[in-house]
Amino acid sequence: MGPLTSAKAATFIVTRDRERSKAFYGATLGFALVHEDDFAAVFDLNGTMLRISTVAEHVAAPHTVLGWAVPDIAEAARALQDRGVSFKVYEGFGQDALGIWCAPGSSAKVAWFSDPDGNVLSLSQG
């Protein structure tokens, strides 16, 4: 057993505009802002700490940086769409009308969306 196996994990997101990110992760996604200081806005993601720090020249990575496993991906996608979230559709993936991709030969499903800075987030099921 390693020294981190019993430690709580934290995750980090970078933004160019903290106020816009706070509105997205708080009001749009529904997470509670638990702390803010000169270095970061901190949200509770169901027991995992998310620290959002400002970097003026931030350029989002093209890959997923944070995701959530949900029991019903279609229901979660519709609920987020109702809150103004747009799901990404990648050419050639064969996603459905909600933007949900079904992994070939598996029951796994994924849908991708971005935060205001273009950080790619995901929903997954199965």
Residue 102 and residue 109 in contact, taking contact as beta carbons nearer than 8 Å = yes
Tell me whether the CATH fold assigned to 8-58 matches the one assigned to 60-126.
yes
**Phi and psi (nearest 5°) for 114?**
-120, 150
- Percent helix, strand, coil in the chain (nearest 5)? 15, 35, 50
Query: Does the structure show a pLDDT above 90 at 1?
Result: no
User: Which of the following CATH numbers is that of domain 60-126: 3.40.50.300, 3.10.180.10, 3.30.460.10, 3.40.50.620?
Assistant: 3.10.180.10
Structural domain boundaries in the chain: 8-58, 60-126
Query: Percent of the chain beyond pLDDT 90?
Result: 99
Instruction: Kindly report, residue by residue over 70-102, the tens digit of the pLDDT.
Output: 999 999 999 999 999 999 999 999 999 999 999
CA distance 119 to 61: 7
pLDDT of residue 11: 97
